[in-house]
Amino acid sequence: MDYSILVNKDNPLPRASIPTDLVDAGSLYKDNIKIDRTVKEEFDKLKTLASQYGYHIDIESGYRDYDYQEKIYNHLLEEKGFSYAITRIAEPGKSEHQTGLAIDFCVYDNGKCYIEHEIEDLPVTKWIHQNAHRYGFILRYPEGKEDITKYSYEPWHLRYVGDIASYIYNHNLTLEEYKNSLLK
């Protein structure tokens, strides 16, 4: 498995691309979420460390197949129009969630679970952004890099990239910039 695989609007996956080693994410938020086996192992470590700081996180979304992405993209397209949909949800084949390496995390607080923009200003979210790289994750769609990633800021979306995560974090790069730097 190439943990540094770049999937974006210019680098789509075919419909038939299915990860080979998916496992149940063990999420208490939602049943039947699947993710790559290594991603689960590393996320569990991050989750355990976070809990030692009093932060409780879980997985809200993991692997999504091509057909599912097609369904949610078309739904948003119909509801909100093209220019809204295109910056918020990947077209089928262009979502990292199809790799099994992407996670949307959620935050438990006082028995309630917070997702997506609800977690934006929480201390736990900042902590995750600063520490996730220790277990191979990067914040994939950071604030201020929208022109490069072609996505709005997504404070909840983590991407497992393995060993290169700390380098990417310390140099304040996106995966696009990291990949480009290798070509030079």
Considering CB under 5 A, how many residues would be counted as binding Zn ion?
Answer: 2
Identify residues 96-155 at the interface with Zn ion (CB under 5 A).
104
Tokens linked to 48 = 């355990």
Look-up: residue for tokens 């199809």? Answer: 98
Compute the least distance from the CB of residue 2 to Zn ion, in Å: 19
Distances (CA, A) of 149 to 8, 13, 48: 8, 16, 30
Question: How large is the C-alpha radius of gyration of the chain?
Answer: 16
Q: Per CB under 5 A, does 157 bind Zn ion? A: yes
What is the sign of the dihedral through the CA atoms of 123, 166, 137 and 93?
positive
User: Catalytic: which of 42, 154, 176, 177?
Assistant: 154
Residue 154 designated active-site: yes
Q: Taking CB under 5 A as the rule, which mask of x and - marks residues 67-106 in contact with Zn ion?
A: -------------------------------------x--
- CB nearer to Zn ion: pick between 62 and 169: 62
Give me the count of residues in the chain.
184
Compute the least distance from the CB of residue 97 to Zn ion, in Å: 6
- CB nearer to Zn ion: pick between 42 and 104: 104
Contact 87, 152 (CB under 8 A): yes
Alpha-carbon distance of 150 to 139, in angstroms, equals: 14
- CB nearer to Zn ion: pick between 53 and 117: 117
DSSP class per residue in 151-162: S---TTEEEE-G
Q: For Zn ion, which residue has the nearest CB?
A: 157
Look-up: residue for tokens 């309630």? Answer: 112
Compute the least distance from the CB of residue 176 to Zn ion, in Å: 16
Compute the least distance from the CB of residue 184 to Zn ion, in Å: 29
Q: Mind telling me the catalytic residues?
A: 154
Contact residues toward Zn ion (CB under 5 A) are 104, 157
